Amino acid sequence: MTRLWVVKFARLLTHKGLWILESKYMEGKITLREGKWKQTVFHKYSGEIHLSGWEEKDLPSDFNPENKLTTSVKKIKKSLAIFSKKNPWVERVIKGVLVFTREDFEMDISNCLVPYGNLMNLSDMYRNTPSIFEMTFEKQLEIVDILLSQHRGFEENDISSVQVAEEIYYQSLKYLNKLVDSYCNF
């Protein structure tokens, strides 16, 4: 499995597709009503027990993870536009998911316009997604190359192609070792 993590949003590239993850680490409970995001958190004031309690607050108007995820997916699709002309299947393998990463977090966002969940939901989504026949190792490398070259155009070089190549190399070795072991067990 080839993994590519990039600042601002995460991308996970595997034989099951290109996953774009917008992650949020928040406490308390978050709700989404009529396009407005609210967070309910417990405030504990030391020495002022009677002031402690749950407090609901509107999140800033620019807090809109739905829009951020949608924008990220559009950027990826634009980056892969030329590749998509020769490989039209790539459009359907791009999956955007809003992920809340804190374990003790609650949410009531059933009217959210994008797929969402916690880490357990993400794990289930990934596990239940079938492998994509066209997503060969070679195609994954092509996609990584395109995304890395696009990435360098607007962000700092915090991911090098050498790091990606080394990770692919070591994962390939693990795969070959498993393959050899499976043949040895016949």
> Of 168, 163, 135, which Cα lies nearest the Cα of 148?
163
What's the confidence (pLDDT) of residue 63? 85
pLDDT at 8: 38
Domain range enclosing 85: 3-184
Residue 134 pLDDT grade (very low, low, confident, very high; cuts 50, 70, 90): very high
Examine the pLDDT at 186 and tell me if it is beyond 80: no
pLDDT digits (tens, 9 = 90+) for 164-184: 667 776 777 777 777 777 766
DSSP label of 8: S
The total number of structural domains in the chain stands at: 1
- Which residues is 97 bridged to in the sheet? 21
pTM of the model: 0.69
Would you state the pLDDT for residue 161? 57
Q: What does the block give as tokens for 165?
A: 């190549």
Examine the pLDDT at 33 and tell me if it is beyond 70. yes
Per DSSP bridges, beta strands 29-33 and 106-108 are parallel
In this predicted structure, what is the pLDDT of residue 83?
94
Distance CA 147, CA 52 (A): 48
Work out the percent of the chain whose per-residue pLDDT is above 70: 79
Average pLDDT of the chain is 79
Helices 137-154, 161-184: crossing angle, 10 deg rounding: 160
Mean pLDDT, range 61-85, rounded to an integer: 90
Give the single-character DSSP code of 76.
Answer: H
Note the helical H segments in the chain.
65-79, 81-86, 90-93, 119-128, 137-154, 161-184
Cα atoms in the 13 Å half-sphere on the side-chain side of 22:
18
